[in-house]
Structure 1
Amino acid sequence: MEFSRLLDCLAADFARLRAVSATDPTAGVPTCPGWTVADLTRHVGEVYLHKTQAIREGAEPDPWPPRELAKEDPIALLDRAYADLRHEFATHGPKDPAGSWYTPDPTVGFWIRRMAQETVIHRIDAELAAGEPIAEIPADLAVDGVDELLKVFVAYGVAEWGDYFTGVLAESPGRTYLVRADEAAWRVSTGPGLFRVEDGAGTGPADVTVSGPSAAVLRRLWNREEADATSPVTVVGAPEAVEELHRCIVVATQ
C-alpha cells in the first residue's frame, strides 16, 4: 500500500476508535480479556507515544510506559498521543530511520504501516466492547494486514525468537497452509523452527486452507470475530493443523 493511503486509513480508524471509546469507558473488551475500554484507549495512546519516541530518538524507549501516563485521562492521552504521532509522520519521510524491533525495515514507513494496522484492530476491539456495528475494513488495508501478520509478526518472530515457538513447532510434522483473502494468497510452510511465507497460492495440496473476504480473514487471524456470529471464513483441514497456525499467531502477537 502507498504510505498516503495507509495514513488515510489510520486517520479514519483513529476517528472511529476515538468516537466509540468515549461511549462507555467501563465496558469490558471481549477480545482483550481483563481490559475495559478505558484500558484499551490508554494502551493505544501509550503505543502511539512509544512510536513517536522511536522516531524522534532513533531507538525504542525502554522501559515503557512512563509512570506519569497512568495519571492522564485515557481519551486526553489518546488525543495527545495521536497528534504527536501524526506530527512525526508529517515531518519525516517514510524512508527516514526510526528505532524498530523489526531490523529489516527500521524506518518511519514501517511505523506508518504498523500504526495503521494497530489502529484498525483496536477500533474493532472498541466496537465489539460497545456493541457497535463493525465499520467497513477497506479490502486493501485488510490484505496488507494479513500480509503483515504472516510475514512481519510470525515468520520474522520464528526466525528471530525461535525459542518462544518451541512449544508449538518443535513436534510439527511439517505442514502447508494456504491463506486466501479475496484475490490475494499466501502459502505458509511450517516445521521445527520453521515458518516460511511465500506470496501466491503455489502448487500442490495444502494441509489447511483458510479463505474468505479479506476483512473477514484479517479478523479471523487476529481473533477479532464476534463469538456468536457466523463467520464468512472457510477453514478446511485437520483440527490439530489448524491449531498449529493459530498458536503460532498467538505467540507472535502476545
Structure 2
Amino acid sequence: MDFHAALETDFARLVEVSAGNLDRPVPSCPGWTVDDLDRHVAAVYLHKIACIRDKTEPADWPPAELAQEETQSQLRRAYRELTDELAARADDEPAGNWYAPDPTVGFWRRRMAQETVIHRIDAELAAGVPSVDVPADLALDGIDEVLRIFLEYSAATWHDEFVEDLRVGGGRSVALAAGGRRWLVAIGPDMLTVAEGDGPAAAEVTGSPDALLRWLWRRSDDATVTITGDSIAVAALRDLLRTATQ
C-alpha cells in the first residue's frame, strides 16, 4: 500500500484538528494536551530521521534544544524532513531499529504511517470532532502490525513485563476478525503467538477494520466491536495490549 499517501493525509488532518485546540486534554493519552501530543509526534519523526541517517538509534533522546522550538513549527519541520528522508531512501536500506527482524527504512515508512493515523485519532478525540474512518487497507495493515510486532515480538523480547497477564490467559486463544482476515492470538501460560487462519478460539472480537484497529490501540471501548466467548481471555488480551503499546 501507499504509506506515503496515508502519512500525508493523516498528518494534514492532525494539523487541521490541532489548530485552536492545543490546550485541550487528550482523553486517550492521560496527562497530555494536544500541544503535548503534537510535540510527541514531532519528536518521533525527528528520532526516525536520526535512525535512518545514522543507521542506529540515537543514544540520547530527545536533544535539549527541541524543547526550545515552538511546537507547531517543530511539527511541520519534522514532517518535511521525515518525508524528504523517506523519499530519498529505498525500503531495504538499513536503519536503526528496536525491532531486530526488520532494521530497515521500510519498517519506519510503515511505522510512521501507522503512528500518525493513531495520533490524528487522538487529536480528533481531544477536539471533540467527528473522526475520519481509517481506510480499510491501512487499518488491516495496522492490525497486523500491532499484533505481530508490538504484541507478539514484545512479549517474547521483554517477557518479564508480560508474565502476569500471560498466565491469566492460561493458554486460551482470542480470534480477531475484520475485512475478511482473521488473526488468532494464543495467550500463555508462558508465551504468546499470533497466527492468521481459521483455528478454534475461546473468544472472538469482530468489527470493521477501522473499529478493530481503534480497539486494539485502546482508542475505543468494547461497545465499538462485537465480543463473544471467554471474557477473561479478552480482558487478558486487552491488558497485554496496554503493556505492548504504552
Report TM bin, short chain.
over 0.9
Of 211, 214, 221 in structure 1, the residue corresponding to residue 206 of structure 2 is: 211
Do 2:207 and 2:225's aligned partners in 1 also have CA atoms closer than 8 Å? yes
* RMSD, matched Cα: 1.3
- The Cα offsets for residues 6-41 of structure 1, whole Å up to 9 and x where unpaired, read as 111010000000111122100000000100000000
| Aligned partner letter, 1:106 | P
What is the aligned partner in structure 1 of residue 175 from structure 2?
Answer: 178
How far is 1:151 from its partner? 0.1
| Aligned partner letter, 1:238 | D
> How many angstroms apart in 1 are the aligned matches of 2:199 and 2:24?
47
How far is 1:109 from its partner? 0.4
Secondary structure at the residue paired with 2:24?
A: coil
Secondary structure at the residue paired with 1:156?
A: helix
**Structure 1 segments unaligned to the other structure (5+ residues):** none
What is the aligned partner in structure 2 of residue 8 from structure 1?
Answer: 5
The answer to whether residue 105 in structure 2 is matched with residue 108 in structure 1 is yes
Do 2:168 and 2:233's aligned partners in 1 also have CA atoms closer than 8 Å? no
Correspondences of 1:115-194 after superposition (within 5 Å) = 115-194=112-191
> How many angstroms apart in 2 are the aligned matches of 1:248 and 1:172?
10
Do 2:177 and 2:205's aligned partners in 1 also have CA atoms closer than 8 Å? yes
Secondary structure at the residue paired with 2:193?
A: strand
Secondary structure at the residue paired with 2:3?
A: helix
- The Cα offsets for residues 35-78 of structure 1, whole Å up to 9 and x where unpaired, read as 00000000000000000000000011122111111111111110
What is the aligned partner in structure 1 of residue 226 from structure 2?
Answer: 234
The runs of at least 4 consecutive aligned structure 1 residues that moved more than 2 Å come to none
> How many angstroms apart in 2 are the aligned matches of 1:246 and 1:136?
22
How far is 1:171 from its partner? 4.7
Q: TM-score, normalised by structure 1?
A: 0.94
Secondary structure at the residue paired with 2:162?
A: helix
Do 1:159 and 1:193's aligned partners in 2 also have CA atoms closer than 8 Å? no
How far is 1:169 from its partner? 1.2
Correspondences of 1:7-156 after superposition (within 5 Å) = 7-156=4-153
Secondary structure at the residue paired with 1:176?
A: strand
How far is 1:173 from its partner? 1.8
Matched residues, number: 246
| Identity fraction in percent | 50
Q: TM-score, normalised by structure 2?
A: 0.97
> How many angstroms apart in 2 are the aligned matches of 1:233 and 1:15?
28
How far is 1:195 from its partner? 1.1
**Structure 2 segments unaligned to the other structure (5+ residues):** none
Do 1:216 and 1:231's aligned partners in 2 also have CA atoms closer than 8 Å? no
User: 105-114 vs 168-177, which deviates more?
Assistant: 168-177
Secondary structure at the residue paired with 1:170?
A: helix
What is the aligned partner in structure 1 of residue 193 from structure 2?
Answer: 196
| Aligned partner letter, 1:145 | G
| Aligned partner letter, 2:207 | G
Q: 1:16 to 1:148 in 2, by over 3 A?
A: same
Secondary structure at the residue paired with 2:177?
A: strand
- The Cα offsets for residues 75-97 of structure 1, whole Å up to 9 and x where unpaired, read as 11100101111111011001111
